[in-house]
Amino acid sequence: MSQSSAYALPPSMRKISENLWEIPIGFKSGMRVPARIFASEKLLKQLDDAVIDQLTNVATLPGIVNAAYCMPDGHSGYGFPIGGVAAMDPESGVISPGGIGFDINCGMRLIRTNLTLAEVQPHIHKLVNRLFQRVPSGVGSSGFVNLSRREFREMIDQGARWALNRELAWSEDLDETEDRGCAVGADSNSVSEHAITRGIAQLGTLGSGNHYLEIQVAKKENIYDAEAAKVMGIDRPDQIFIMFHCGSRGFGHQVASDYLDLFLKVMESKYGINVLDRELASCPFRSPEGQAYFSAMKCAINMSFANRQVILHRIREVLSEVFGRSARDLGLQMIYDVAHNTAKLEEHWLAGKPRDLLVHRKGATRAFPPGSPLIPEKYRGVGQPVIIGGSMETGSYLLVGEKSGSQSFYSTAHGSGRTMSRHAAKRLFRGRELAAKMEEHGVFVRTDSYAGLAEEAGAAYKDIDEVVEVARQSGLSRPVVKLTPIGNIKG
Amino acid sequence: MPYRYLEGITSADFAFEATGATIQELLQSAADAVLALMVEDPERLSAEVERVVDLKTEMKDPQAAVASLLHMLLQRIIYYKDAERAFLRPAAIEIIGPESGKLELHCVLRGERIDPKRQALGTDVKGVTYHHYKVTRNRREWKATVVVDT
């Protein structure tokens, strides 16, 4: 199967509204629901052909409800496309590790500051260098929090609350984290000793690839919703923010591998489930294996929340050191923390009735609307904050969920989406030249891997402005502010 | 070159094709392909760290068994990258039962602790996928197509 930028779309695909396309049941044998893609004509032309195949494969999974969805930043993945969303009936449906991904709870955290561009710019090199020294990143990096195996098990059961108990968090941080930083029901007995060994030294690390820590500025002309911005603590011109993107590290990756292999062994022999792609290996959600994976996945979700929490603690220490003021005085408060790769039991209204559904989001962000009791009280007037990361050259967005997001189980995009392979990007771009060019354009970047930096060139990604505009027009989420990078740490 | 990276299979990660005249050579080539994503010149890694890996598989045919063994070995190398903070490369590979579907692998891995000051680091590899995963054999050689998540 080839990856093409000029893929011939299925003849049966039809446009059902502006920026929403549907491939009907019947396109592929076994489809139980249609496949729906949120995309402009421009983004549709950039879609690689594997997305159509993968999304319509997802539509064949037992228990899937409504449709298999692809978000505006969608691109091909394994099993599910990245940007894939699928909700299953928990009683009759399956859970699929391919619908979550290797990096369980890869996610984003955004922090406001009381600082402005004028205050930070003169110190940007010092700040980035110090963050680079003190927030471990890159291949094989080890974290700054040493845990025994017993403590690691406690942490994966408790998530960000574990960090609070060790004074590595402010209590309000948990309020501003999706699910308050803890997936309830995690049981460390559901993970392998192998997974613990693989992850035990990595608490407090960024990782590499598309993981990063960025210092950003909100320019006045990039604030689109002044009311929502004010609620989120955006309260001065050229305000500085810190955003970072990372996940559950080797622990989560091992949990994913362990359970993919288990599901492949039992799904057909024990449950009679056949899938069109091994990466869609599934078990009934209520089966012992399905429940064990759900519990293990929650452990990885919790590890990732704890990871981002301790990194925030380190960021506060560094900024306090560089600017000579306390973190409280610097106003280093969280705006929100969102997860990209999860499966969650949620209540959604379908055909006028509430239903419990297992919502898989792989490279997609939950975006609850205004009024949702599941988001912090202070955001219920405007909607759940959503953080969509662009490339390191283009900037990122803070958005809010919308009531019209019910069409996708309140899911929206998570990033820009790649248009070029990592291998192609490494051939076309030189990391050191890219870093120099970025500095000329006002972004100082530090990395341990210039090869990795080349892979992350802005040209390898879709236009983030287009992705966000499609999300807005489609009613999935509404932009509040665009954040422009001025400093970046890449693993 | 015993391995080459492939275009047109994955946009977000890396795909490669590895070859070898024997199963041992195939495993070596594929291991080097994975390591080369994470560190420059894995062939130049010193032998300061050693680990022994024993793996078994039982599949319906020899090609499926080699595919299973290869997947497990690559996953183990990725595991050591995190668990031991070391890049470990096969130094000696023994295969028992190569013409059957029941295979055993005894492999000595050797390499270095990860050190950004000494090594030119690449991208972190999270795991080996089953996306387009294939091991085949013709009269001349074994060939594997592998996609890793990065």
User: How much is the ipTM here?
Assistant: 0.96
Q: Is A319 helix (H, G, I), strand (E, B) or coil?
A: helix
Q: Would you say residue A8 has pLDDT above 80?
A: no
Q: Is A208 in contact with B9 (Cβ distance < 8 A)?
A: no
At A72-117, the pLDDT tens digits run 999 999 999 999 999 999 999 999 999 999 999 999 999 999 999 9
Judged by CB atoms within 8 Å, which residues 315-344 of A form the interface with B?
none
Q: Does A192 touch chain B (CB under 8 A)?
A: no
pLDDT greater than 70 at residue A6: no
β-strands A385-388, A396-401: how paired?
antiparallel
Residues 82-121 of A with CB under 8 A from B: 82, 101-103
Q: Is the pTM of this model over 0.80?
A: yes
A140:B7 CB<8 A = no
**What tens digit of pLDDT does each residue of B76-125 get?**
999 999 999 999 999 999 999 877 789 999 999 999 999 999 999 999 99
Residues 6+ apart with CB under 8 A from A371: A380, A403
Is B58 in the A-facing interface, judged by CB distances under 8 Å?
Answer: no
B82 in contact with A, Cβ within 8 Å: yes
B-contacting residues of A 202-261, CB under 8 Å? 202, 207-209, 249-250, 253-254, 256-257, 260
A462 band by pLDDT with thresholds 50, 70 and 90: confident
**Separation of alpha carbons A164 and A167, rounded Å:** 5
Under 8 Å between Cβ of A205 and A137: yes
B27-48 average pLDDT score: 96
Which residues of A belong to the active site?
414
Query: Nearest 5°: phi and psi at A144?
Result: -100, 5
State how far the Cα of A177 lies from the Cα of A160, in Å rounded to an integer.
9
Residue A1 pLDDT: 35
Asked if residues A354 and A406 have their Cβ atoms less than 8 Å apart, the reply is no
Q: Tens digits of per-residue pLDDT, A20-49?
A: 999 999 999 999 999 999 999 999 998 888
Percent of chain A having pLDDT more than 90?
A: 90
Beta-bridge partner residues of B50 = B110
> Nearest Cβ partner of A455 from B7, B81, B123?
B123
* B117 contact A CB<8A: no
Q: Where are the alpha helices (DSSP H) in A333-417?
A: none
pLDDT (0 to 100) of residue A5? 42
pLDDT of residue A72: 97
CA A98 remoteness from chain centre: 15
Can you tell me whether residue A167 is helix, strand or coil? coil
When scoring B126, B133, B135, B149 by the number of chain A Cβ atoms within 10 A, the one with the most, hence best to mutate, is B126
Yes or no: say if A61 and A280 are a contact pair by the CB < 8 Å rule: yes
Sequence-separated (6 or more) residues with CB below 8 Å from residue A104: A247, A248, A252, A255, A256, A297, A300, A301, A304, A341, A342
**Could you count the other beta carbons within 10 Å of the beta carbon of residue A451?**
21
Question: Could you give the percent of chain A with pLDDT greater than 70?
Answer: 98
Residue of B nearest to A48 (CA): B11
Contact B127 A208 (CB under 8 A): no
Distance from CA of B94 to the nearest CA of A (A): 24
- pLDDT tens, A377-414? 999 999 999 999 998 888 999 999 999 999 999 999 99
The residue among A19, A484, A365, A401 whose CA lies nearest residue A225 is A401
3-state secondary structure of B50: strand
Closest CA to B107 of B82, B73, B59: B73
Higher pLDDT, A333 or B1: A333
Q: What is the pLDDT of residue B101?
A: 85
Highest mean pLDDT among A450-454, B1-5, B84-88: B84-88
Angle, alpha carbons A390-A396-A401 (nearest 5°): 110
User: Is any Cβ of chain A less than 8 angstroms from the Cβ of B60?
Assistant: no
Angle at B93 between CA B92 and CA B96, to 5 degrees: 145
Angle at alpha carbon of residue A104, lines to A100 and A105, rounded to 5°: 105
Q: CA of A211 to nearest chain B CA: how many angstroms apart?
A: 10
Q: Specify the residue for token string 């948990």.
A: A174
Alpha helix positions (H), B39-107 = 62-83
pLDDT tens digits, A215-235: 999 999 999 999 999 999 999
Residue A67 Cα to chain centre, angstroms: 21
What pLDDT is attached to residue B16? 96
Nearest CA among A156, A214, A173 for reference residue A489? A214
